[in-house]
Structure 1
Amino acid sequence: MLDRCGGLQETLSLLSLLATSEEGDRYLHWDELRHRPAPEGLTHEQWWLAEKLSRRLTPLPLLASEGLAFGFSQPPVLLKGLHQIDMEAGASVVAPEAVTRRSTRDRYLLSSLMEEAITSSQMEGAATTRDVAKAMIRSRRPPRDRSERMILNNFLTMQRIRELRKQPLTPQLVLDLHRLVTEGTLDDPADAGRLRPPGKEVVVDDLYGTVFHVPPPADELPQRLEELCRFANGETPKVFIHPVVRAIALHFWLAYDHPFSDGNGRTARALFYWAMLQQGYWLFEFISISSVINQARGQYERSFLLSESDDNDLTYFLLAQVKVILQAIGSLHSYLERKAGEVGALQQRLEGMEGLNHRQLELLRHALRHPGYRYTVLSHQNSHGVSHQTARSDLQSLSARGLLIAGKDGRREIFRVPEDLTTRLPG
């Protein structure tokens, strides 16, 4: 008997060793593993057992419909991704100059809010083009149809989340966010801001009627929402969970419960943003995850299915979302670098402009980085130590070229940087 037990123990140890010695950049589901060549001397079933033995799931308070808890493991590839997010978007990260300078911060913030609002709505069926949607938001005109209303709602929701970042999550706050997301876009207006009522059950399926997920029944939703908020606020579980893992799990949780008749995906992503900002990941004011998710919708949806079909292992969804987050952060940095390069190229164009003195060139370099900035004769005079008349002559000359816009602020003469200064410069 001891020999048999010893042999079993040796086999299990070998299987565990095989699992942990595999490359740490993947986390295979059975559906993928069974199509790969098995390690020498092992069947696919033994290999799968080795993988499962190496995964020690941390349980979460999220219960599946059958009553079993979801959990997650922490493979090296996940830990590496979380560390990278901390390094590139955490509270201690030094902010790029473009998002700390007041004149450009608001412009980049508006751009990111519009991007997230538009793409998140398009994922849910909004048909409005990006240009039309951006024009609507910038001009503040009322939406003309349901698609535009979805986008405007998402934009207002993202603005609201920035205001709520320091508030704890409550069931009422979740309902308020859902109402803001869906107001004026639902077939039944009464569904905005309320949980699915008993008898109004839903399923998640595709266009062909294939059911992928059956959410919990409506009568369980109030209690489940209470538990979701306790988890979001860090009250459960009584172990440390990385804040990014908590934010992603919150996203999954609301999508899994599907507590509303419509608008669940948009609300889930809104809660993710709330969680990231609440935990100090300030850069997420400028990041759009929906734009990345929308480029690979199949992978996003598949990660839900993999987690549900493998003993409620949330690791599959965590890995997919960490990848999305890192791509979104990379897109932001690329965008900022591109804009900085454009400004640098424009500054080089300034050097070739004839008839401008060094004071005017310096002002235009500043103006390129500060659209909408207002100069006065006194500010220009003090900056360069020249006479009132010289300063006024500098500014009037730039205004005559169309590079500044002259105006009045009461009795004071001002010269404003046009928003389209870059297009007014000679080629």
Structure 2
Amino acid sequence: MNKPERVPIVPRNFNYAEFLASLNNEQFRLLFELNDTKYHYYDKWKYLASDWGMDPQQLWAGVKTARIGQKSLTISQLPGFSFKVNTPTVVQEYLHTFDMNLGGNLQGDTVIPSEDQDRYLISSLMEEAIASSQLEGAATTRKVAKEMLENNRKPRNHSEQMILNNYEAMKWIVAHKEEPFTIDRIKTLQAIITKDTLYGEEPGTFRTTDDFNVVDVQTGAVLYSPPVAGQLDDLMKAFCNFANDDLKLSFFLHPITRGIIVHFLMGYIHPFPDGNGRTARTLFYWYLLKHGYWLIEYMSVSRIILHSKAQYAKAYLHTEQDDNDLTYFIIYNLKSIDKALDELRQYIKRKTTEKQNALTLLRHTNFNERQIILLQELMQDSTLFFTVQQVQNKFGVSNQTARNDLNGLAEQGIFEKRRTGHRMQFLPRPDFMKKIQGK
């Protein structure tokens, strides 16, 4: 990825009134509409200037002046930690949607059937752990990774260790979501995330040298150089001050916007030798859960980011290259949250339909809900097999309950047992469909 061109500086003698007077009606409309609904970076405005037969720097000066309502946010008095935040219509629309959908009174059967909430939560934490690790280079498939997590299988390689660590980190923040952010807790979280994956570095410790840069993996070009190690203690104190809402602002900053800025700052400060990105995304979840946006733990935002990695990187770079304007990073993440919410809705709708179809097929049987879900999965993929540990983790039930579920299906001739080492596997019999249908 090429580093984006730094935006031009607006000339001090720029005459905004003359600039607006020079636009025709369509250009005038587009200037404010695009600024409010798209919030383009300079490169897009530069191409538009060419279409308009206008000097790109002149058009950009007009765009920046139109953004004059930006708020200033100073995290630390150290250089580079004063930011700009804007609230164009696109941001306000997303925030309103999330306020209506991610928290409050919707907790319950309206969004996720109560009997399925535990199962969906376990699955979503796994999905987020897998995707966040894949973003940082974990090379394994989702299917293999989920099988490892469900079966409590030991990681076989570095990539699987990353995913297991991320899963443990997601469970950790759910368990500690009411606690304030502290440097020690953030170090603990990073230590969980990087357990057995660092080479020559101690988990849970800040970097002590200044030779860490964010580079393009393909070209090796330096995209970003983080603050020097000697500033990290002060910066992380300032970070916790902001994340705990102790930084007094002269304007309202929406909690979801704050959570996204927490995400940004962890990557921007880059306090650890490794795991900064995974830590940043986990802290984002922690912040939103602390502020009552309970549905976020059922969503995998990193899975959306994984499919738009270039845009994710550009959102960081556009902020840095345009006078620390956080609005680019905020909009990118709001879009990702919106897609993750849509994916969750589609997933629940699909799973609810599948469950109803299975219940219809099995209405004259005495299978319990968990057994019906296992049979439903089996009907979709007859190559599956299950273990007691897998069912225990999948549904969040006791070992004995999982064992009873599988033994019950075996007793009805649907599964056959096969011992592999110390583990008992339950495999479908060739005629399992006839047994399900009572034939």
Q: Shared topology, TM-score over 0.5?
A: yes
Provide the secondary structure at the position in 1 that maps to 2:36.
Answer: coil
Partner of 1:116: 128
Provide the secondary structure at the position in 2 that maps to 1:60.
Answer: strand
Deviation by residue 1:92-116 (Cα, 9 ceiling, x = unmatched): 32434674524x2222111111111
Deviation, 1:333, is: 0.8
Of residues 329, 333, 336 in structure 2, which corresponds to 1:324?
336
Mapped partners of 1:85, 1:218: distance in 2: 37
Distance 1:74 1:114, change over 3 A: same
Mapped partners of 1:298, 1:219: distance in 2: 31
Distance 1:368 1:144, change over 3 A: closer
Mapped partners of 2:330, 2:167: distance in 1: 26
Cα contact 2:34–2:40 (8 A) shared by 1: no
Deviation by residue 1:277-305 (Cα, 9 ceiling, x = unmatched): 01111011111111110011011111111
Provide the secondary structure at the position in 2 that maps to 1:34.
Answer: helix
Mapped partners of 2:227, 2:186: distance in 1: 18
Deviation, 1:335, is: 0.5
Of residues 168, 171, 184 in structure 1, which corresponds to 2:180?
168
Matched, 1:91 2:101: no
Mapped partners of 2:34, 2:78: distance in 1: 33
Of residues 154, 158, 170 in structure 1, which corresponds to 2:166?
154
Matched, 1:11 2:18: yes
Matched, 1:202 2:212: yes
Matched, 1:75 2:88: yes
TM-score, structure 2 normalization: 0.76
Mapped partners of 2:77, 2:47: distance in 1: 28
Partner of 1:263: 275
* More contact order relative to length (CA 8 Å, sep ≥ 6): 2
Mapped partners of 2:237, 2:35: distance in 1: 40
Deviation, 1:45, is: 3.0
In structure 2, the gaps of 5 or more residues are 1-13, 375-390, 396-407, 417-425
Cα contact 1:65–1:216 (8 A) shared by 2: no
Mapped partners of 2:15, 2:155: distance in 1: 68
Code of the aligned partner of 2:436? L
Provide the secondary structure at the position in 2 that maps to 1:212.
Answer: strand
Cα contact 1:61–1:237 (8 A) shared by 2: no
Partner of 1:20: 32
Pairing 1:113-152 to 2, within 5 Å after superposition: 113-152=125-164
Of residues 209, 224, 243 in structure 1, which corresponds to 2:235?
224
Cα contact 2:259–2:288 (8 A) shared by 1: yes
Matched, 1:425 2:432: no
Deviation by residue 1:157-177 (Cα, 9 ceiling, x = unmatched): 000000111111011111111
Code of the aligned partner of 1:176? T
Mapped partners of 2:86, 2:111: distance in 1: 37
Deviation, 1:334, is: 0.5
Deviation, 1:425, is: 3.0
Aligned length: 374
Code of the aligned partner of 1:122? Q
Mapped partners of 1:130, 1:40: distance in 2: 47
Indicate the larger mover: 212-221 or 16-25: 16-25
Deviation, 1:247, is: 0.4
Distance 1:400 1:109, change over 3 A: same
Cα contact 2:133–2:278 (8 A) shared by 1: yes
Mapped partners of 1:179, 1:155: distance in 2: 13
Of residues 205, 208, 211 in structure 1, which corresponds to 2:222?
211
Cα contact 1:61–1:231 (8 A) shared by 2: no
Matched, 1:57 2:70: yes
Code of the aligned partner of 1:202? F
TM-score, structure 1 normalization: 0.78
Distance 1:22 1:262, change over 3 A: closer
Of residues 354, 363, 366 in structure 2, which corresponds to 1:342?
354
Partner of 1:280: 292
Deviation by residue 1:42-93 (Cα, 9 ceiling, x = unmatched): 6433332221112122222335974351121011011111111112212232
Provide the secondary structure at the position in 1 that maps to 2:74.
Answer: strand
Mapped partners of 2:353, 2:331: distance in 1: 33
Deviation by residue 1:354-385 (Cα, 9 ceiling, x = unmatched): xx4xxx57x76897479999xxxxxxxxxxxx
Distance 1:365 1:15, change over 3 A: farther
Deviation, 1:15, is: 8.2
Deviation, 1:226, is: 0.4
Of residues 185, 189, 209 in structure 2, which corresponds to 1:177?
189
Matched, 1:236 2:247: yes
Cα contact 1:60–1:237 (8 A) shared by 2: no
Pairing 1:397-408 to 2, within 5 Å after superposition: 401=412
Distance 1:402 1:88, change over 3 A: farther
Distance 1:23 1:304, change over 3 A: closer
RMSD over aligned Cα atoms: 3.3
Provide the secondary structure at the position in 2 that maps to 1:48.
Answer: helix
Deviation, 1:206, is: 1.2
Indicate the larger mover: 22-31 or 223-232: 22-31
Give 1 or 2 for the bigger CA radius of gyration: 1
Mapped partners of 1:83, 1:333: distance in 2: 18
Deviation, 1:200, is: 4.2
